[in-house]
């Protein structure tokens, strides 16, 4: 499993924002991955996607790595942020904006506002 752990650490270290997901940001293969990728895409966040369906070691490895049982998993500047429910909540209460801003990750503030208005 060391290989998967090193690979995962490398991906987290070399990408400002990385989403471990089922499928890709352009073709998500589960609803939860689709929701998180959709939020990031809509908000204009540049992120790398890692399709866990392509590698069983990474698929299990990311769960062990973060000690989090579900996919997708979002990392920003090396920090584990959360999965679908957490990202959804953070988007709706403005915490995601604050975190991205604090971390210096560019995003479209108007798009973030639109998501909140649409879900108010």
State the binding site for [2Fe-2S] cluster: 30
* Residues 66, 73 contacting (CB under 8 angstroms): yes
* Spatial distance between the Cα atoms of 96 and 6, rounded to a whole number of angstroms: 27
- With tokens 């490398």, the residue in question is 10
Q: Give binding residues as ranges.
A: 30
* Spatial distance between the Cα atoms of 37 and 55, rounded to a whole number of angstroms: 19
* Spatial distance between the Cα atoms of 120 and 117, rounded to a whole number of angstroms: 5
**Rounded to 5 degrees, what are φ and ψ at 68?**
-125, 130
- Token pair belonging to 114: 């639109």
């Amino acid at each position: 499993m060391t290989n998967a752990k090193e690979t995962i650490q490398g991906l987290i270290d070399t990408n400002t924002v990385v989403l471990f997901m089922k499928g890709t940001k352009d073709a998500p293969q589960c609803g939860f991955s689709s929701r998180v990728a959709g939020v990031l895409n809509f908000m204009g966040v540049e992120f790398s996607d890692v399709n866990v369906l392509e590698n069983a070691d990474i698929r299990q490895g990311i769960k062990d790595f973060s000690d989090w049982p579900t996919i997708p998993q979002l990392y920003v500047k090396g920090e584990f942020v959360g999965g679908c429910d957490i990202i959804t909540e953070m988007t709706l209460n403005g915490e995601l904006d604050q975190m991205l801003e604090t971390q210096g990750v560019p995003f479209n503030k108007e798009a973030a506002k639109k998501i909140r208005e649409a879900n108010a």
